Amino acid sequence: MTDIAENLSVLKQDIRTRELEYGRAANSVRLLAVSKRQPASAIRDAWEAGQRAFGENFLQEALDKRRELAELDIEWHFIGSIQSNKTADIARAFDWVHTVDRVRIAERLNRQRPAELAPLNVLIQVNISRETTKSGIAPESLGELVHEISALPRLNLVGLMAMPAQVDGLAGQRAPFAQVAALARNCQSALETLSMGTSLDYVAAIAEGASLIRLGTAVFGPRVQGA
Ligand SMILES: *Cc1c(COP(=O)(O)O)cnc(C)c1O
């Protein structure tokens, strides 16, 4: 077994254990393997161990790997910040986008999603810790953006994504995830997918209802600079 296969196996068992521990339905939490700054060979190793969903942050790097792995049935998720001049490639090359936080970007993705593909699955990124350096929409502006995106036929709005400020301790980590879950519940639209939790805080995210946890280093080990 490769280290990556071993990591995935241990993580999957831990996810099942945490689902039970926190009263979550069995298999309600999916693992998104965050492969930014990992070589294509690492994605291939994970794929051979059964992993199908991969998250990438940097468009050019993602397109290169996608080309290299074209024969594999991979579900590609874009989780990086979106510049408006990159939306056409994102709309064409990805199945999911987690980081939509303004209507202008949503409209471009809607217009540029190729007609032969299914509507693009999108999540709205919420800046739940209100960090000035982070992307994401302010919680009080969420309702309006949900309304606007729901009108775009080539986008399939499925949920919310958040990346809270890092804190130590389970209770402190759970608080912002609970806020995200409450925002999703209070929305008129069905926002059933909650993309939250990284290698450092995924247990807290599972406890508060995460359905997609985004794990990079826990799966692949340290990131390679310039990979
Ligand atoms: C890099 C990244 C992750 C994964 O972080 P790890 O600490 O490696 O698990 C998750 N989400 C986003 C948005 C990221 O950019």
At 218, is the pLDDT very low, low, confident or very high (cuts 50, 70, 90)? Answer: very high
Give the model confidence (pLDDT) of 193-212 as tens digits: 999 999 999 999 999 999 99
Is 57's C-beta closer than 6 angstroms to any atom of ligand 1? yes
pLDDT at 134: 83
Q: Which residues form the domain of 204?
A: 3-220
Residue at token pair 């693992």: 31
The CATH number of the domain where 27 resides is what?
3.20.20.10
| pLDDT at 163 > cutoff 90 | yes
Residue 226 lies in a domain: no
Q: How far is the CA of 129 from the centre of ligand 1 (A)?
A: 16
Residue 51 lies in a domain: yes
Residue 165 lies in a domain: yes
Is 100's C-beta closer than 6 angstroms to any atom of ligand 1? no
> Are 181 and 174 within 8 A, CB to CB?
no
pLDDT at 226: 59
User: How crowded is the C-beta side of 125, counted as CA atoms within 13 Å?
Assistant: 22
> Are 104 and 84 within 8 A, CB to CB?
yes
Residue 227 lies in a domain: no
How far apart, in whole angstroms, are the C-alpha atoms of residue 88 and residue 97? 12
Is 219's C-beta closer than 6 angstroms to any atom of ligand 1? no
Residue 59 lies in a domain: yes
| pLDDT at 75 > cutoff 60 | yes
Give the model confidence (pLDDT) of 24-43 as tens digits: 999 999 999 999 999 999 99
Quote the number of domains for the chain. Answer: 1
Q: How far is the CA of 194 from the centre of ligand 1 (A)?
A: 15
At 132, is the pLDDT very low, low, confident or very high (cuts 50, 70, 90)? Answer: confident
How far apart, in whole angstroms, are the C-alpha atoms of residue 170 and residue 188? 30
Is 34's C-beta closer than 6 angstroms to any atom of ligand 1? yes
Pairing label, strands 155-162, 120-126: parallel
Residue 136 lies in a domain: yes
Specify the residue with its C-alpha closest to ligand 1, atom 8.
216
Which tokens in the block code for residue 192? 């059933």
Residue 210 lies in a domain: yes
At 131, is the pLDDT very low, low, confident or very high (cuts 50, 70, 90)? Answer: confident
pLDDT at 1: 75
pLDDT at 190: 87
